[in-house]
Structure formats: structure tokens, C-alpha cells
Amino acid sequence: MLPFQKSITSEEANKMPLKAFEGDIILVDEYEDLDEAVQYLKKYAILGFDTETRPSFKKGKVNDVALLQLAANSKTFLFRINKIGLPEEIIELLKNPNIVKVGAAIKDDIRGLQKLNDFDANGFLELQDYVSNFGIESFSLKKLSAIVLNFRISKRQQVSNWEAEILSPGQLRYAATDAWVSLKIFERLKATEQEL
């Protein structure tokens, strides 16, 4: 008997308690802050991963990645790619096979980053593939957090302007939560795997 339900409806997920990342959110929007952030993240074997892109309402037009989120336990770093680009320091993290980057539906995220500065993506783990080992058939981050962690996350800021001059507190919290919750889902599944 697998420990998680196979799927969950949106109605069921919406009845779960709402949670968001409560740790430190570090916004990196200047090149000077980059090295300290990357050195901190390099100490971790597993990071939560996500990106945000300003939505386009024109058919066929896709905007560049504006934000890269990397979560490590109590700190989540938000790199404003639209301001600092995708420098070599970040690429070293993204190429490192010894640092696992965990996220949901990450193929487009990786492709979006590679469009800015081509690199070999190593050490990425797709949650949507991993959860199928546990018989889970719901793949959205919102539903996965409900099934695995018994809480829901807000997706209200998803289509906001990620290239705004100043990101709102709501945007920062949302972006940090997405990367953090991917990490927490993975950790919970890994712990469950060891118990089975």
C-alpha cells in the first residue's frame, strides 16, 4: 500500500491549509551580491529550483526568464536574471552534477535559461517523474504539495509582471514558495522511500 493518494481534485486541495515559505528571502539583483549567494548555495547537495517569466498575451511570443529561484532549507535566493543576466557563477551551479536541483515541469525552465546562456544542464530532478514512483498521478505543484505535504500553496501571483522595477512582497513570497515547496516535496518523498 502506497502512503500517498493517487490524485486530488482542485476542490479538495483548496480545503487544505494555505502555507508559504517563511524563511529568509534573499533578492540578488546586483552583480556584487552574486558571489556570496552562490557560495552559500554550493554548500547544499539538494536545492529547490524554479523560474518565473513575465507572461505574454501575444500568440507565439515568449518572454525571457526574469527570475531564477534556488531554495536551500531556510533561505531562498531569487536571482533577477532580467537585471544581472545569467552569469558564469550561476551556470556553474546549474551545470554541477553533485548539486541536485529539484523542481516541477522544469524542462521549459531549463530551456528558457539555456536560451540566455547555453550550458549543459546536470543534476536536475523532475518531480513529476519522481512522484510516479509513489503512484501519484497529479503533477501540478499545488496538487503535489496537497498530496505529499497536506497543505496548499497560492498561485495568485503566477501571471504577474516578473520584470517590474520592484517586485512586490507577494511576488517575492510566491517565487520563494515555489522553489521551497519543490524541495520539501522531494525531502518528504525521499524519507518515505527509506521507510518503505
Q: Does some domain include residue 4?
A: no
DSSP class of residue 32 equals G
CATH number of the domain encompassing residue 47: 3.30.420.10
Q: Does some domain include residue 185?
A: yes
Compute the C-alpha angle 68/55/152, nearest 5°.
65
This prediction has a pTM of: 0.93
Q: Does some domain include residue 2?
A: no
Tell me the C-alpha distance between 44 and 47, whole Å. 7
pLDDT band at 101 (very low <50, low <70, confident <90, very high): very high
Q: Which amino acid is at 14?
A: N
| Domain membership of residue 143 as a residue range | 10-54+61-195
Place of cell 501519484: 136
Q: Which residue has the higher pLDDT, 1 or 105?
A: 105
Work out how many domains the chain is built from and give that number: 1
